[in-house]
Amino acid sequence: MRVSRQQVEDNKRTILEAAGRLFRERGFESVTVTDVMKSAGLTHGGFYGYFKSKDDLIAQTLAGLRGEAEPKSTDLAAVAQRYLSAEHRDDFAHGCPLAALASEVSRQPQGARTEMTAFLKRQFERLGKIAPGLDEEQRRRAAIGNSASMIGALILARMTDDPAMSNEILEATRGWLLAEDGEGAKAADVA
């Protein structure tokens, strides 16, 4: 049965939101077209009215993630505190797409890789603005290094089945990041 133009628009957004959650939770391959449509309250048959293929859904989902609200911070310590928290670790569905999907994206076709590259570029730029450093180059280095550390630590903390080790990874990386980040931050960390 036909639905209104507004409904069509809403449905597309709902489908993309569901896909964004499911892909982060379970990865691209484990999530079926039927899963996504069911999660959006529709049946699988209608899928191809919205997307050319599952790969197209993946690319559009990743493109949509760029628009997701990012908590703004002016301080690296605050970013690390939030990013490397138990809450973020345990919330795949609404967490960082890079930590959840970067590995899989490297084996995906062009579209997905290009979208995630754009996402990563933005992440570096955002972090570059609040990273410590004397000049632009040092701040960019810090943005990349901090991103890699936080993403890597979150992935490892999610991988291990030892809860104590998982917490240790988050805590140690947090402490290490702030302690090693130049004299100012080091002092702040000790205090």
Length of the chain counted residue by residue: 191
Contact with DNA (CB under 7 A) among 21, 27, 33, 124: 33
159 binds, among a copy of itself, DNA, none (CB under 5 to 8 A by kind): a copy of itself
Q: Are 56 and 12 in contact (CB under 8 A)?
A: no
Q: Are 20 and 64 in contact (CB under 8 A)?
A: yes
Burial class (CB in 10 A: 0-12, 13-18, 19+), 152: middle
60 binds, among a copy of itself, DNA, none (CB under 5 to 8 A by kind): none
Contact with DNA (CB under 7 A) among 22, 23, 47, 149: 47
The window from 40-48, 56-64, 75-83, 171-179 that contacts a copy of itself (CB under 8 A) reads: 171-179
Contact with DNA (CB under 7 A) among 17, 19, 39, 43: 43
* Residue 190 neighbours by CB distance under 10 Å: 8
Contact with a copy of itself (CB under 8 A) among 16, 76, 96, 105: 105
Binding letters toward a copy of itself, positions 110-139, x by CB under 8 A: x--xx-xx--xx------------------
Q: Are 120 and 142 in contact (CB under 8 A)?
A: no
Contact with a copy of itself (CB under 8 A) among 7, 9, 10, 30: 30
Q: Spell out the residues 6+ positions from residue 36 whose beta carbon is closer than 8 angstroms to its own.
A: 15, 18, 19, 22, 47, 57
Q: Are 109 and 53 in contact (CB under 8 A)?
A: no
- Whichever of 17 and 91 has its CB closer to DNA, that residue is 17
Q: What are phi and psi of 4, to 5 degrees?
A: -70, 160
Q: Which stretches of the chain bind a copy of itself, using CB under 8 A?
A: 26-27, 29-30, 98-107, 110, 113-114, 116-117, 120-121, 140-142, 144-145, 147-153, 155-156, 158-162, 165, 168-169, 172-173, 175-177, 179-182
